[in-house]
Amino acid sequence: MKPFIRIFLFASLVFFISGCETEQPHNYTYASPPDQVTIGTVQRFVKKGMYSYEVIEALGSPNMVTKNAEGCETWVYDKIHSEYETRASDGGLNLIIFGTHSARRTGSSEERTLTIVIHFDLDARVSDFSYRTTSF
């Protein structure tokens, strides 16, 4: 067998074998946060007395963390969801008579926000929490 053919077969075999390997999944010790934090998520998972690491398991990392004079933390989550919908309206009469196309675009947008504020005590347990939603 010619050396070129041996090298080609060997390289093909290496590429084939390396392409069949699968990546092992990562083993995390905590549950991954939900893809979309909603009021229902907050109501189901956030409870007074739970530890800060449990809040991170349920909601993910906060957007902002502050401390008061006593050293207690307050976490703020801000979630924003935007949707924009466009509609095209053809000037059908212009298209037929003048051979031009004058499309009008109209649209509507919707923004929703969810702000969650969680207060912790000195033991890193939830002492109080509140949430607010807006839609415009």
What is the per-residue pLDDT across 8-40, written as a single tens digit (0 to 9) for each? 666 665 555 655 444 444 443 344 445 578 888
Which two three-digit tokens encode residue 81? 């969801």
DSSP-assigned letter for residue 93: H
Task: Record the pTM.
Answer: 0.59
pLDDT tens per residue across span 105-130: 677 788 889 999 999 999 999 999 99
Residues 119, 69: Cα–Cα separation, whole Å: 13
Strand order in the sheet with 104-120: 64-67, 73-89, 104-120, 126-135
H helix count then E strand count, the chain: 4, 4
Residues 77, 130: Cα–Cα separation, whole Å: 11
Of 37, 49, 21, 3, the residue nearest 112 (C-alpha)? 37
DSSP-assigned letter for residue 122: T
Please report the domains of the chain, with CATH numbers, ordered by start residue.
33-135 (3.30.1450)
